[in-house]
Structure 1
Amino acid sequence: MNAPTSPSPENALLITVSGPDHPGITSELMAILHAHGGAVDDVEQVVVRGHLVLSLVIEIGDPNTLRKELLLLAYDRNLQITFETVKATPTERALGAVVTVIAQSISAEALGSIASNIARCGGNIDRIVRLARYPVVAYELVVLGVPIDQLRAALGALAGPLGVDIALQRDGLGLRAQRLVVLDVDSTLIQNEVIDLLAAEANCEPEVAALTERAMAGELDFEQSLRARVKLLTGLHESALAAAAANVRLTPGARTFIRTLKQMGFKVALVSGGFSYFTELLKEELGLDHAYANELEVLNGVLTGRLVGPVVDRERKAALLREIATLEGIDRDQTVAVGDGANDLDML
């Protein structure tokens, strides 16, 4: 290994250490740098599957004696170490965009396609970090050099074909602030459609399915379809609600997802076009902060086939997101909405 040239005031020394990770490596390295009067200008460290990669930029007058001690440390610790002279002036780093990729599994093809599209629109990946491994895989990519709107256009169409979810956010301190996450329920937080579970209890599944098809064909809007389907439940005993709730199945990973959000200090709310009986149960079970949905009218222990209060449609969902954010004192830019249908579009 050739000795680097002595850094001038315009230059600094980039030291890269890699190899098996062990407790004490960083502290020993810093002790040697301190003993030789090295000033740390920058440092990055990551451990992947027990393999350490640590890079430092330091300013030091004569690196030769330092180099010998660091080589000895590397030998004793079974590490590799390299030295390179770099410019002392820090690289200017403008805030970029954070791209989060989530799926059951993420292939090299998927990551490659995302990286290619980032490069094609002039972006550069500054950093990649794995956020989760189970029950879903998630990676965070910090991208520089391209406006977030352009990046969103470049990546938006990839999610479906690649079988992944892609979310984009602006980088900055705001990412570390308190956040609000608002979730749809049917076919999002849970695997079921609650109206179908109730239809099974009321023995009117074909009729409910026909109304759903008409709504999807554009013959009925959401409110018309919902009220027509609820009317089919007329006379159903309220005990059927508990029977239907027993068949509710959380989406795989949902419990872990919410527990993680709560541990991070996030507020989590449900805003559903379904029914409040079920969202209240989920709120209690999962320890959520808010839950809003349509209320089924019950008189004398049976469903009347009517709703109480305004329908939670797409406009109401967006309004509820704003109301919850205001109540919690969270800026709109710090809110995230998760949904799967047209009824969720306004809050997304």
Structure 2
Amino acid sequence: MEDQPKTLLVTLTGKDRPGVTSAIFAALAAAGVEVIDIEQIVLRRRLVLGILVTAPRDWKKLRDVIERTATDLDMNVEVDRGAGDNRSRSGDRSHITIIGKPLKASAMAAIAGRIADSGANIDKIERMARYPVTAIELHVSGAPADRLRPLLAAEAVRQGIDLAVQRDSLHRRGIRLIVMDVDSTLIQGEVIEMIAAHAGQEAEVARVTEAAMRGELDFETSLRERVALLAGVPATALDEVYDAIELAPGARTMVRTLRRLGYRFAIVSGGFTQITDRLAADLGIHFARANELEIVDGVLTGRILGEVVDRAGKAVALREFATEVGVPLDAVIAIGDGANDLDMLNAAGLGIAYNAKPVVRDAADTSVNVPYLDAILYLLGISREQIEDADAAVGIVTPAPPLGLDD
């Protein structure tokens, strides 16, 4: 086995300004070294630049040149001689996304401690968002995602933060399919309860809905029971319900941003096609599947046409949409909040419980409990700055961040 090549690690710190990086590389270029690795970050205009290069025979002479260059730049520099590349980056790699509102130092300390306990190493940390939540992504190596996920999920619950662990793979960078529940996920509230208000049955329908979402009642039975209470409601009430629907905060941003990247979207609902088809058309969602209310002579009959889209039906729809799009299940992201979403969440490569019931949070790959649907973009490696830049390019204005959050 050949010896690992001798290397130099150059670490430069100080006030950032134009020309710093080029000056250091000019000094390195004169020695004819090869660049092996680079990391650079800027925090509040303070630069930290790390450069790993092959070590020349007369490495001390190069060190002196680098130190003189740093002095001229009024920067601090360290030059360390060693061997090999960044060994910690071999083996299993994962992306860990942490979301907090606020994100406390104690929570970061706890998560970093659990990562260390697993034998993994944090190779890189970057901020994905600073408002309305703080989102941080860790690039971790040395432990499989399946080992990290339960360990970190338990710690996230203790710290009151959201956390997702995803294996580093090509799927994270390719076109993916997003499959979403509708009621209390894509939109706020439950459509069936809004319709029931027109029949004076809102309280009774809400009671049955809650029991079904907790998994205490068979979904199909509970749905037929609730729909029966809608008999006699004029079909025109569906237009009023649609006009009153409020999307989850960030829903349009999430769909708009991911569509630009070529993602495909589907909504799968235990609700009704009379609403979901219009939502899909409004948001530019590619696929929609839901139950169809029977309407006769302009009035709801209290019955459903065809097979019920229940817990199993949602998973079936997810697989069919994935086949139509031509992506593997590992490239599917499912988002839901209720017990009838569990099969769908388990079928996807990444199942996200969004402001979900406890039984769903416990079963999903990860959970997002902040009231912003576009926070899911951070799990996909898309930063708030990238979202705003893309919007600005087409004239969409983003509100200014809260005072005190500017750099």
Residue identity matched to 1:41: I
Task: Verify: 1:47 aligned to 2:36, yes or no.
Answer: no
Question: Aligned ranges for residues 219-238 of structure 1 at < 5 Å?
Answer: 220-238=217-235
Q: Name the CA distance, whole Å, in 2 between partners of 1:282 and 1:48.
A: 41
Query: Is residue 62 of structure 2 the alignment partner of residue 83 of structure 1?
Result: no
The answer to whether structure 1 residue 127 and structure 2 residue 131 are counterparts is: no
Q: How does 1:110-121 map to 2 (within 5 A)?
A: 110-121=107-118
Tell me, yes or no, if the aligned pair for 1:135 and 1:253 is still in contact at 8 Å. no
CA distance in 2, matches of 1:319, 1:217: 21
31, 36, 39: which one aligns with 1:36? 31
Deviation at 1:156, TM superposition (A): 2.8
- 1:71 corresponds to: 67
Contact 1:198/1:233 (<8 A) preserved: yes
Is 1:141 matched with 2:104? no
The answer to which of 279-288 and 227-236 deviates more is 279-288
- Over the residues paired in the alignment, what is the CA RMSD in angstroms? 2.5
Provide closer, same or farther for how the CA distance between residues 142 and 37 of structure 1 changes in structure 2, counting only shifts above 3 A. same
Alpha-carbon spacing, 1:307–1:211, altered in 2? closer, same or farther (3 Å) = same
| Greater C-alpha Rg | 1
TM-score normalised by structure 2 residue count: 0.76
Q: 2:93 aligns with which of 91, 96, 99?
A: 96
The answer to whether the 8 A contact 1:95-1:172 is kept is: no
Q: Deviations over 1:122-168 (max 9, x none)?
A: 33322222222333332222222223222222123344443333222
Please, which moves more after superposition, 63-72 or 163-172?
A: 63-72
> Quick check: 1:135–1:252 contact (8 Å CA) kept in 2?
no
- Given residue 268 of structure 1, which amino acid in structure 2 is its aligned partner? F
Change (3 A) 1:96 1:10: closer
CA 161–69 in structure 1, closer or farther in 2 if over 3 Å, else same: same
The 1:143–1:201 alpha-carbon spacing in structure 2 relative to 1, beyond 3 Å, is same
AA paired with 1:183?
M
- Name the counterpart of 1:196: 193
8 Å CA contact retained: 2:97, 2:165: yes
Indicate how the Cα distance of structure 1 residues 118 and 68 shifts in structure 2: closer, same or farther if over 3 A, else same.
closer
Residues 126 and 78 (structure 1), Cα distance of their counterparts in 2 relative to 1, 3 Å cut? same
Which of 193, 203, 222 is equivalent to 1:206? 203
The change in CA–CA distance for 1:38 and 1:336 in structure 2 (over 3 A counts) is: same
Unaligned runs of 5+ in 1: 1-7
Residues 79 and 311 (structure 1), Cα distance of their counterparts in 2 relative to 1, 3 Å cut = farther
Number of corresponding residues: 341
* Aligned counterparts of 2:72 and 2:279: Cα–Cα separation in 1: 55
Aligned to 2:174: 177
Counterparts in 2 of 1:278 and 1:133: CA distance versus 1, 3 Å: farther
Partner residue of 2:305 out of 308, 321, 346:
308
| Amino acid corresponding to residue 26 of structure 1 in structure 2 | T
